[in-house]
């Protein structure tokens, strides 16, 4: 199975936070699963750090690529099809990171590992 991590799931993985569900943790740990991390998550993390929302992880942006690679995750770049789909959703949902993750999940056929119930509005296949 291939899975895409929502940014909060990635952060909880990096910090070994107990908020990450046991099922999600097990799926991420499984060598049978390929785990993808979106470029949108790098953008979201950098934005949150700039705004002071991730002060407990001060070097995360600088080490993002290293940490993703160390866990054996695959980077998922943003392409123009993802961008068109994210911008084209008719929902009033304003979070650009959620819109992009929903689009990537849909177009790449990757269930999204997320606790966020708002992804149901996009029809996103989720895993938690």
Question: Residue 83 is part of a domain; what is its CATH number?
Answer: 3.40.50.1010
How is residue 109 written in tokens? 């056929």
What's the confidence (pLDDT) of residue 78?
Answer: 98
How is residue 127 written in tokens? 């895993």
Spatial separation of the C-alpha atoms in residues 124 and 17, rounded to whole Å:
24
Within the chain, where are the H helices?
A: 7-14, 22-29, 39-50, 60-70, 80-88, 96-108
Closest by CA position to 100, among listed 17, 36, 50? 36
Q: 102 and 119 in contact (C-beta within 8 Å)?
A: yes
* Average pLDDT for 106-114: 98
Residue 65 sits at the vertex; the CA angle it makes with 61 and 38, to the nearest 5 degrees, is 85
Q: Show the domain range for 94.
A: 2-127
What's the confidence (pLDDT) of residue 93?
Answer: 85
Residue 55: pLDDT over 90: no
Q: Helices 60-70 and 39-50 sit at what angle, rounded to 10 degrees?
A: 150
Band (pLDDT 50/70/90 cuts) for residue 34 is: very high
What's the confidence (pLDDT) of residue 50?
Answer: 94
Residue 100: pLDDT over 90: yes
* Average pLDDT for 102-123: 97
Residue 85: pLDDT over 90: yes
- Bridge pairing between strands 74-76 and 112-113: unpaired
- The residue with greater pLDDT, 55 or 19, is 19
Residue 76 sits at the vertex; the CA angle it makes with 126 and 60, to the nearest 5 degrees, is 95
Spatial separation of the C-alpha atoms in residues 16 and 20, rounded to whole Å:
8
Structural domains counted in the chain? 1
């Amino acid at each position: 199975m291939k899975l895409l991590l929502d940014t909060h799931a990635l952060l909880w993985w990096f910090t070994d936070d107990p908020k990450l569900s046991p099922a999600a943790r097990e799926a991420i740990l499984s060598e049978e699963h390929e785990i993808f991390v979106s470029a949108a998550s790098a953008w979201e993390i950098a934005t949150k750090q700039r705004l002071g929302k991730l002060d407990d992880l001060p070097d995360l942006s600088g080490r993002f690529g290293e940490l993703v690679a160390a866990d054996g995750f695959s980077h998922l770049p943003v392409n123009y099809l993802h961008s068109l789909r994210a911008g084209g959703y008719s929902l009033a949902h304003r979070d650009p990171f959620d819109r992009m993750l929903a689009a990537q999940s849909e177009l790449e056929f990757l269930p999204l590992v997320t606790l966020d119930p708002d992804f149901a509005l996009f029809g996103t296949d989720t895993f938690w």
